[in-house]
Amino acid sequence: MTSIKDFIRTIPDFPHEGIMFRDVTTLFANPDSFRLAVDQTLQRLTDLKIDLVVGIEARGFILGGAIAYERSLGFVPIRKKGKLPSRTIEREYSLEYGNAVVEIHDDAIQAGDKVLLADDLLATGGTAEAAINLIERLGGDVIACSFIVDLPELGGRQRLEQLGMRVQTLCEFSGK
């Protein structure tokens, strides 16, 4: 049987030398592998009560949107600074190759909402930790973090688990 990993393209030295970029756009482009990724993610969520799915820009929108649709849930985007039209709160964070800022609308999540955080890839965990911070500042309860790819050598899973997060991934790649 074909695995999720078989549909993910690796691009060496992108966006910087020494980085092995794991490109999930090839997985999304194939209807069978996209369905497989969404179905496998949903199977891991059956025991969770979720009110909202939050996706991190940009590939987290694709996975998170599909999950939200399949579970008949709302979807909330976390975007790069300056991309959301209404009032926002923001969080700066470090990633593997620089710093960035993400934002969420200040009215996107209500106190007590049970939130699933979705993105394509877990590397250092910096982006996900920033997203968790934003969700929690609005009163949301992140009950799980879901990713397609884990890069375990970069320590993101451990970082999120130390925050008390439940982390699920569909596959792993070694290296950076």
Catalytic residue chosen out of the listed positions 22, 59, 79, 91: 59
Taking Cα atoms as reference points, which of 63, 60, 55, 71 lies closest to residue 142?
A: 55
Q: How far apart are CA 155 and CA 123, in angstroms?
A: 7
Please say whether the dihedral angle defined by the alpha carbons of residues 74, 146, 25 and 42, taken in this order, is positive or negative: negative
Does the annotation mark 59 as catalytic? yes
Catalytic residue chosen out of the listed positions 70, 71, 90, 96: 96
Report helix, strand and coil shares of the chain as percent, to nearest 5: 30, 35, 35
Task: Give how far Cα 147 sits from Cα of 49, 81, 123, Å.
Answer: 18, 22, 10
Q: How far apart are CA 161 and CA 98, in angstroms?
A: 23
DSSP string of 41-72, one letter each residue: HHHTTTT---SEEEEETTHHHHHHHHHHHHTT
What residues are annotated to the active site?
59, 96
